[in-house]
């Protein structure tokens, strides 16, 4: 009796870890390899402004959680490893923090759209964050000067709560009680 073997051709985190460091962002979504070049300056300014604002908030409010920038792997499964622009891990999630990476769904994931990542961030990444249990997903669009916020809905899935234009007063979230960032400040050139 002949037996058949099934080989999973998807890439895994182990495959990703063996790749040489080339200063590009390497990610896996369902085992598919995505490579992204370094971001443009406006993109990086927005990531830094968000990181700084949340970091200052967390310094003043210890014990709420930790924020990490775009140099930390977030491992959802062995086939799903991404490097978001910003992640917030809440205090009740400290067990997902390991020395080499984040092992599980952070409370908040933020992606700043770029021409090369727009479709992925709005499509397969959003789907990954939804099925993996991310509590909130913010999509910052520097072209439209908007922040689209997705939160867990009653049915358990990520639901679009609002899309804030740059003239809205501020960006806030129940994950960070009392946090507020002026969208005018976030989107300034």
pTM for the structure as a whole:
0.92
pLDDT of 169: 87
> Which CATH number is 84's domain given?
3.90.1570.10
DSSP 71: T
* Residue 6, domain member (yes or no): no
Region 106-132: what's the mean pLDDT?
95
Q: Residues 48-61: pLDDT tens digits? A: 999 999 999 999 99
* Residue 155, domain member (yes or no): yes
* In the predicted structure, residue 7 carries a pLDDT above the cut 70: no
* Residue 152, domain member (yes or no): yes
How many whole angstroms separate alpha carbon 173 and alpha carbon 169? 13
For the purposes of burial, counting CB atoms within 10 Å of the CB of 66, is it exposed (0-12), middle (13-18) or buried (19 or more)?
middle
Structural domains counted in the chain: 1
* Residue 130, domain member (yes or no): yes
**CB count in 10 Å sphere of residue 100:** 9
Residue 78's domain comprises 13-187
Q: Residues 168-184: pLDDT tens digits? A: 889 999 999 999 999 99
* Residue 177, domain member (yes or no): yes
């Amino acid at each position: 009796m002949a037996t058949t073997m099934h080989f999973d051709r998807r890439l895994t985190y182990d495959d990703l870890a063996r790749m040489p460091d080339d200063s590009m962002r390497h990610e896996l979504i369902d085992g598919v390899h995505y490579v992204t070049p370094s971001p443009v300056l406006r993109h990086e300014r927005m990531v830094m402004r968000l990181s700084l604002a949340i970091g200052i908030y967390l310094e003043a409010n210890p014990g709420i959680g930790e924020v990490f920038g775009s140099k930390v792997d977030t491992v959802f499964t062995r086939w799903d490893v991404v490097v978001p622009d910003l992640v917030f891990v809440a205090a009740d999630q400290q067990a997902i923090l390991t020395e080499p990476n984040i092992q599980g769904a952070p409370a908040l994931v933020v992606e700043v759209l770029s021409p090369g990542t727009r479709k992925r961030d709005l499509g397969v990444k959003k789907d990954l964050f939804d099925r993996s249990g991310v509590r909130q997903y913010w999509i910052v669009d520097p072209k439209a000067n908007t922040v689209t916020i997705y939160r867990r809905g009653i049915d358990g899935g990520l639901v679009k709560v609002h899309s804030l234009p740059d003239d809205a007063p501020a960006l806030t979230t129940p994950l960070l009680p009392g946090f507020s960032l002026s969208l005018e400040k976030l989107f300034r050139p």
